[in-house]
Amino acid sequence: MTIQNSQAKKAVIRVQRFNPDVDRKPYLAEYEIAITADTTLLDALENIKSDLDGSLTFRRSCRHAICGSCAMSVNGVNTLVCNRRVEAFLDRKGRVTIRPLPYLPIIKDLVVDRTSFWEQYLRVKPWLIPPPSYDDSQPIDGEFHVSPEEVAALQSAETCIMCGACYSACQVVAMNKKYIGPHALLKAFLRVMDPRDSAPAERLAIVGGDDGVFRCHTIFNCIDACPKGLNPTQAIETMRKLAQKRLAFEAARVERQKSL
């Protein structure tokens, strides 16, 4: 319980401000606030908004790294601000710099326009396509059987919170807005690997096209940026291999589904 006992001290929070209705270009504003060792970056932004400048604008909701609202760039690194403590980011002069996620249009201050992010997400058909034997109109009795090993494979993708930290850290996204992006490719991987999904070949065709897995330059920015410790690059690598033999993969899926 050492954290709460620590002394308050001053920190300078430098925040990029930009309201396109009144500002010609983005600028950095400085706010001095008191912090303790357990003050999070989000706490700091909330304090500035309630006490110093109510017009400071940012997104947030759950406060504990599960909703994905508050991804931003802190000292040049994409992260969530809700579960990171200010102290860990202060330089020798006691300053930290918070900017919106890069490579995305700014709506206002730290709020970015994620339209392209969600369009790419939709492109991979993020929903499961169940086996043909599953008839939507009938009442359901019983469950498919999925092994713990298959679940473990899916878990490396299912905990993605769609915060956008990976997407906006990706150099390929920066250069080419048609690239599907690590978040949507990870979602595609979740569906491709799921024994209950009946369209792995169609999915591999989508991600195996010009804007998909072969466009990835394997720079690993997405891995560094992911606040949930996920590995989109590895998922992309796996799908590259599977894309080459997608019809055989789908045939194996049909076999697997006989014992679901």
Partner 1 sequence: MSYITGITHNEAITHDVLIIGAGLAGSWAAMAASKQGVGNIGVLSKLHPLRSHSGAAQGGIAAALNNVRPVAGTGPSGPLEAVSPGDEPPDSWELHMFDTIKGSDWLGDQDAIEIMVKEAPEIIYEYERMGCVFSRLSDGRIAQRRFGGHSVPRANYAADFTGHVLLHTIHEQALKQGVTFYSEWYCLDLILEDNICRGIVALDIVTGTLHLMRAKAVLFATGGYGRAWKITSNATANTGDGVAVAYNAGVPLMDMEFVQFHPTGLYGKGILMSEACRGEGGYLLNSAGERFMERYAADKMELAPRDLVSRSEQREINEGRGVGPDKEGVFLDLRHLGAERIMERLPQVHELARDFLGVDIITDPVAIQPTAHYSMGGIPADANCQVIADAAGTPVTGFYAAGECACISVHGANRLGTNSLLDASLFGRRAGLAIAEFVQNGAPLPPVSGDPVARSQARLSRYTAGVSGKPAESVSKIANALKETMTKNVGVFRDGERLEIAARDVKVLQERYTRAQIMDKGSRFNTDLLAAVETENLLTFSEVIVASALARTESRGAHYRTDYARRDDAQWLKHTLAHKNDDDGPRLDYKGVTIFYDRYPPEERKY
| Binding residue (CB under 8 A) for partner 1 from 81, 104, 197, 206 | 197
Distance in angstroms between the alpha carbons of the first and the last residue of the chain: 48
256 lies in the site for partner 1, by CB under 8 A = no
Shortest separation between residue 128's beta carbon and partner 1, angstroms: 3
Which residue in the set 103, 134, 220, 249 belongs to the binding site for partner 1 (CB under 8 A)?
134
CB 247 to partner 1: min, Å: 23
The smaller minimum CB distance to partner 1, of residues 128 and 247, is found at: 128
Region from 57-65, 92-100, 198-206, 211-219 binding partner 1, contact rule CB under 8 A? 57-65
Contact 66, 45 (CB under 8 A): no
At 82, which amino acid appears? C
**For residue 65, which of 157, 187, 165 has the smallest C-alpha distance?**
165
Give the integer Cα–Cα distance in Å for 249 and 204: 10
DSSP for residue 139: P
d(CA 152, CA 202): 23
- Does residue 17 interact with partner 1 by CB under 8 A? no
Handedness of CA 39, 40, 41, 47 (dihedral sign): negative
- Binding range to partner 1, per CB under 8 A, among 61-69, 167-175, 204-212, 244-252: 61-69
Q: Is residue 200 at the binding interface for partner 1, with CB under 8 A as the rule? A: no
Give the pair of three-digit tokens for residue 234: 């590895």
Q: What is the 3-state secondary structure (H, E, C) of 210-233?
A: CCCHHHCCCCCHHHHHCCCCCCHH
d(CA 195, CA 188): 13
Nearer to partner 1, 76 or 139 (CB): 139
Binder of partner 1 out of 31, 35, 48, 58 (CB under 8 A)? 58
Q: Contact residues for partner 1 (CB under 8 A)?
A: 1-5, 19-22, 38, 40, 49-51, 53-55, 57-69, 83-84, 107-108, 111, 114, 122, 125-128, 130, 134, 136, 139-148, 151, 154-155, 158-159, 161-162, 190-191, 194, 196-197
